[in-house]
Structure 1
């Protein structure tokens, strides 16, 4: 391993993508399909994803023309790695029911999480047309524009998310991430602090604020924030990486 001291280590930050939408209640379902959906909801709440997936599948078999069920199934299998199959189900949902906002949102989000910001824009815009009161759609559209280096549009959409919900910490975080990437550290810190006022345990924000602190020369403060990020989510890898990079750069190993 190369242990050469780095005077300006590249620390790892992130944007926060809001997750897939799942329909918990679909009034048009018949009795058996509705029962499977109810059981799937319970399994999902208990984080039993394999069971929830099987129950969504059972519900869909009983009502294969339900755009909402297609959206649920497409999202849950895509999240488990079956991206192509999930994509096909989400596209089918939008074709069956053009006003299925969840399907459009999930389709755009699927493109987004796989780095296809150019393909994410149109379905997310469609989701916003159908429901302009969902801050998650504006948030994810903002990230898509960040991927496309359209930073003014990105900022505009994060701000629109906050105009819908001032307590939406993801949008504050992403405004901070945008400012950080553009070298505006004081602005980034301000947004990260606002995100933490809403959610003090947002591990990604704690990590990214630590990156700001380090760049401003506050090494101990940065390390403290990274440790708080680890405490908030021990499975989140970025603060471990950043602690390691700082340890090398500052000759602490």
Structure 2
């Protein structure tokens, strides 16, 4: 039965794979690999259905943890699901469990930073953003988030450093160029701000904010 589960898993049929692994586990509950394989299938199934059935995805991740309580990926995806449902306390708990079992998970640290930024707790947001960067110095999303956080706090030198690093590691990161545009505008460098907005529009032509910002800068020059 585990072999059939493995075939279904390779085919991307995670629901069927999970059913076969459950059956295998009922027959041989002492098998060490079956619970781990079942947990992986349940996580992948949750990812498949999360857009259409977010509560079903949560059930998948939760069941995965029944079979493999140390699976950091299950905790991480629970955190993402709860954050998307604006259940931030539950999201934070699951992100903390993620980094407990996987201390190098930059995404979990970043997402905790995002929640604290939304809650206007800038000190904690910066703390977790920096922890994410310690895990992955080339994590463009966190570099961008740090730039925004430092812009918000008025530390424009630090903001420029991190936003510049964001576009250095991800040259097609449109949002970071838009944020650089804001930063140069704050600095009074309208020409450079205009270049950043134009680059953002080039990368993301349907984005409204950069176009509006470019118009505002152009009217000042």
User: Does TM, scored on the shorter chain, surpass 0.5?
Assistant: yes
More helix as a share of residues? 2
Separation in structure 1 between the aligned mates of residue 213 and residue 163 of structure 2, nearest angstrom: 21
* 2:113/2:128 contact within 8 Å kept: yes
Separation in structure 2 between the aligned mates of residue 116 and residue 180 of structure 1, nearest angstrom: 27
Separation in structure 1 between the aligned mates of residue 193 and residue 16 of structure 2, nearest angstrom: 49
| 5+ residue gaps, structure 1 | 1-28, 41-54
The 1:228–1:245 alpha-carbon spacing in structure 2 relative to 1, beyond 3 Å, is closer
Separation in structure 1 between the aligned mates of residue 118 and residue 125 of structure 2, nearest angstrom: 9
Partner of residue 62 from structure 1, selected from 12, 20, 23 = 20
* Residue 221 (structure 2) pairs with residue 244 (structure 1): no
Separation in structure 2 between the aligned mates of residue 212 and residue 146 of structure 1, nearest angstrom: 18
The 1:248–1:81 alpha-carbon spacing in structure 2 relative to 1, beyond 3 Å, is farther
| 5+ residue gaps, structure 2 | 23-34
Q: Which has the larger radius of gyration?
A: 2
Question: Counterpart of 1:63 in 2: which secondary structure?
Answer: helix
The 1:199–1:248 alpha-carbon spacing in structure 2 relative to 1, beyond 3 Å, is closer
Aligned residue number for residue 53 of structure 2 = 82
Separation in structure 1 between the aligned mates of residue 85 and residue 156 of structure 2, nearest angstrom: 28
Aligned residue number for residue 195 of structure 2 = 224
TM-score normalised to the size of structure 2? 0.80
Aligned residue number for residue 150 of structure 1 = 121
The 1:37–1:214 alpha-carbon spacing in structure 2 relative to 1, beyond 3 Å, is farther
Query: How many residue pairs align between the two structures?
Result: 206
Separation in structure 2 between the aligned mates of residue 165 and residue 104 of structure 1, nearest angstrom: 20
Residues 6-31 of structure 1, C-alpha deviations (whole Å, 9 max, x = no match):
xxxxxxxxxxxxxxxxxxxxxxx922
